[in-house]
Amino acid sequence: MLLVDLVRYAVFGVFVASAAVAVGSWAVRTRRLNPFSAPGRLIRKTSDVVISPIEHWLVQRGGLPQNAPWWLLGITVVGGIITVTLAEVIAGMLQQIGGAATSGPRGIVRLIVLLAGRLIIFALIVRVIASWFGMGRYNRWVKWTYPLTDWCVLPLRRIIPPIAGFDFSPLVAFFLLQFMISAIVGLL
């Protein structure tokens, strides 16, 4: 877990640096700090390297370039959360792999079942969230989820009708998969 703690400190450091860049850029742009003074020039010189690409991206998409510092903070927060979460997941998986390796073939089979189940549940979650954004079966980012999840969603969809336009079959599939995985792992 030492590595996860190091990742957390690094993410926090990146957040503090991006917050300093965002506040400095905001202070110079709103003239709270004279842009032609020595500190103002230093802030512009150091922050423009980070802020200019974000401004360019925003302008291309019809956004306001003044919002670039706040986009930087948002990107840093979301990216930090994703980075720390991935580090924790990887550390947990490495710990499980180590435990499975010491418990023999039964532990390895248990680990394979657990990882396969997690992959299917992850694919189910991606499929549902992508459907909220109008990404269908043939979208290149989402099409890998359908072969992994159709076997459990389609039979449930035939049994459970949509209620008020909402399809509950992925939710039921999620709970059934959780139950099946825990039952199989418990039997091993």
Identify the domain containing residue 134 by its residue range: 104-188
User: Which of 102, 117, 141 is the last residue before a domain boundary?
Assistant: 102
Is pLDDT above 90 for 35?
no
Same domain, 121 and 51: no
pLDDT at 123: 93
pLDDT at 44: 82
Same domain, 117 and 59: no
Secondary structure, 3-state, 33-100: CCCCCHHHHHHHHHHHHHHHHHHHHHHHCCCCHHHHHHHHHHHHHHHHHHHHHHHHHHHHHHHHHHHH
User: Could you read off the pLDDT of 124-167 as tens digits, one per residue?
Assistant: 999 988 988 888 888 888 999 999 999 999 999 999 888 887 88
User: Which of 102, 134, 153 is the last residue before a domain boundary?
Assistant: 102
Same domain, 14 and 4: yes
What average pLDDT does range 3-23 have in this prediction? 90
User: Could you read off the pLDDT of 36-58 as tens digits, one per residue?
Assistant: 888 888 888 888 888 888 888 88
Give the chain's count of helices (H) and strands (E).
6, 0
CA-to-CA dists, residue 2 to 9, 41, 96, angstroms: 11, 40, 16
**DSSP bridge partners of 163:** 166
What is the number of domains present in the chain? 2
Same domain, 174 and 123: yes
Q: Percent of the chain at pLDDT above 70?
A: 99
User: Could you read off the pLDDT of 71-87 as tens digits, one per residue?
Assistant: 888 889 999 999 999 89
Same domain, 18 and 83: yes
Is pLDDT above 80 for 27?
yes
